[in-house]
Amino acid sequence: MEKKVIQLSIAELMLHKRGPMDGAEDINLFRFVLSYPAEGISAIESVKTLLSTDDLPTDWDSDFDKAILFKTPLRGKAQLSIEACSVDKDSQAQASFKKLLNSILGSTLGIFTGGFGSAYVGKITNTVGKSVIDVLGDDEDVDIIGKATYLLDSEQLPDTIDLPLMVDTPVVEKKYVLVGHENSINRRRKVVENEVIPAGNNGQIRIKVTEL
């Protein structure tokens, strides 16, 4: 089986809803993992980040650094996994979020200085089979707002990959409200959940595949 060198890049990306996004510093994070592309490589990852106040790019071809995901050898089959996330950067979790990504994934997000950025491209990691939630833990204020998988085969490479971005678990926005009479000693805080994104299709992505 011949080893090939391929390049994967974003051609189109659309989300119906981008999460609770209740703060100007909130972000969308897009994580791409290619598992076992070739001998000796368990996985490579690429992460793109975007402020919630910025529009999703439409002309990906105009900016190579923005569009590029991987330039890698490929032999046989490798699974491409995609996760789109909503991150509440205003929460108390932001410090540990940044620290964990830096220590576990090996890079600090460029988004923390603002603007559209690539945290890293084609970085070899040991996070095969783990989602962002697995990496960060349940206490972090991160929601999965779309995910997809695709099995690449070096013997049957497509020109493009079109995938829906699916939500397994509805995304809810949590707010605390005071219930009870204003002067009552029994007044207490109550968590109110508002569904922001239902389970199902929340967008789509097209990835361009180029054999080098």
Per-domain residue ranges for the chain?
4-169+199-211
Band of the pLDDT at 43, cuts 50, 70, 90? confident
The per-residue pLDDT for 111 is: 40
Alpha helices in 15-165 (DSSP H): 64-67, 94-100, 132-136
Residue 179's beta-bridge partner residues? 188
**Cα 57 to the chain's mean position, in Å?**
15
> At residue 154, does pLDDT exceed 80?
yes
Q: Is the pLDDT of residue 163 over 60?
A: yes
Q: If pLDDT is split at 50, 70 and 90, which confidence band does 61 have? A: confident
pLDDT value at residue 114? 44
**Inter-residue contact 61 to 7 (CB < 8 Å):** no
* pLDDT tens column, 4-25: 999 999 999 999 999 886 666 6
The residue among 190, 29, 11, 44 whose CA lies nearest residue 122 is: 44
Q: What is the mean pLDDT of the chain?
A: 78
H or E segment and range at residue 41:
strand 41-51
pTM of the predicted model over 0.85: no
Q: How far apart are the first and last CA of the chain?
A: 17
Lowest mean pLDDT among 58-72, 102-116, 175-189, 190-204: 102-116
What value does the mean pLDDT take over residues 41-66?
84
Nearest one of 160, 159, 154 to 204, comparing CA atoms: 160
pLDDT per residue over 63-110, tens digit each?
888 888 999 999 999 999 999 988 776 555 555 555 555 554 554 444
Q: Check residue 193 and give its pLDDT.
A: 75
| Token output for 115 | 């603007």
Q: If we measure between CA atoms, which residue out of 67, 81, 82, 83 comes closest to residue 209?
A: 67
Q: Is the pLDDT confidence value at 212 over 50?
A: yes
Residues 83, 147 contacting (CB under 8 angstroms): yes
CB-based contact 60:85 (threshold 8 Å): no
Say whether pLDDT at 186 is over 80.
no
Rounded Cα gap, residues 10 and 187, in angstroms: 51
What is the pLDDT at residue 113?
Answer: 37
**Highest mean pLDDT: which of 39-43, 139-143, 151-155?**
151-155
Indicate whether 144 pLDDT > 50.
yes
From the list 93, 75, 65, 81, the residue with the least C-alpha distance to 9 is: 65
Element of type H or E holding 191: strand 188-197
What is the number of other CB atoms lying within 10 angstroms of the CB of residue 157? 14
